[in-house]
């Protein structure tokens, strides 16, 4: 794999899932809390799964828009909702799953499916990074 790195994001976490995360430029800064569903206190604070969901949703929506621009398709009210699940995996540790719901209103379903398929298989770096490691489902509701 040959990547011409043009940008590097940097963030530091302290205190793990009950700590704090901050990007090097200070734009992203959040307290972290373990969700109640995972045995934590919940409350005000994010968690790694929310941060991953936000990043994947934004990246995938950008990839869909990129493919649409290449094909000269005008997209208006496009959105991607990412659902990131976490739980124990076999034989040990924890794993995540991802469900991406892509909304492309007003677009022919076959055209929309083609955009989504190309974005997932060829363009989105999150899709490339998770392929073979994370169960990712992409749907057009």
Q: Are 26 and 20 in contact (CB under 8 A)?
A: no
Range of the structural domain that residue 134 is part of: 48-139
Q: What are phi and psi of 138, to 5 degrees?
A: -115, 125
Residues 110 and 75 in one domain: yes
Q: Within this chain, do residues 77 and 111 fall inside the same structural domain, yes or no?
A: yes
73 and 15 in a common domain: no
- Kindly tell me if the per-residue pLDDT of 1 is higher than 80: no
Same domain, 2 and 22: yes
Predicted pLDDT of residue 95 = 95
pLDDT in tens, 47-78: 999 999 999 999 999 999 999 999 999 998 99
Rounded Cα gap, residues 104 and 111, in angstroms: 10
Q: What pLDDT score does 76 carry?
A: 87
Indicate if 58 and 17 belong to the same structural domain: no
- Asked if residue 53 and residue 13 are part of one domain, the reply reads no
CATH number at residue 34: 2.20.25.10
What's the structural domain count of the chain?
A: 2
Tell whether 114 and 88 lie within a shared domain: yes
What pLDDT was estimated at residue 135?
Answer: 96
User: What confidence tens digit (pLDDT) does each residue in 87-138 have?
Assistant: 999 899 999 999 999 999 999 999 999 999 999 999 999 999 999 999 999 9
- Cα distance from N-terminal residue to C-terminal residue, the chain: 34
Do 105 and 61 sit in the same domain of this protein?
A: yes
* 27 and 66 share one domain: no
Model pLDDT, residue 118: 98
End residue of a domain, out of 46, 66, 83: 46
Beta-carbon contacts of residue 103 (< 8 Å; ≥ 6 apart): 77, 78, 79, 80, 81, 140, 141
Q: Are residues 82 and 117 in the same domain?
A: yes
Write the CATH number for 96.
3.30.300.20
- Whether residues 130 and 62 fall in one domain: yes
Query: Are 41 and 99 in a shared domain?
Result: no
């Amino acid at each position: 794999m040959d990547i011409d790195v043009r940008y590097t994001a940097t963030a530091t976490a302290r205190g793990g899932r009950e700590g704090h995360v901050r990007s090097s430029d200070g734009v992203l800064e959040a307290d972290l809390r373990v969700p109640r569903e995972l045995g934590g206190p919940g409350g005000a604070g994010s968690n790694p799964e929310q941060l991953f969901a936000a990043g994947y949703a934004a990246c995938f929506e950008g990839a869909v828009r990129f493919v649409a621009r290449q094909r000269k398709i005008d997209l208006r009210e496009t959105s991607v909702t990412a659902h990131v699940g976490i739980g124990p995996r076999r034989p040990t540790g924890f794993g995540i799953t991802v469900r991406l719901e892509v909304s492309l209103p007003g677009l022919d379903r076959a055209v929309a499916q083609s955009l989504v398929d190309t974005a997932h298989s060829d363009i989105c770096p999150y899709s490339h990074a998770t392929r073979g490691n994370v169960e990712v489902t992409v749907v057009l509701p």
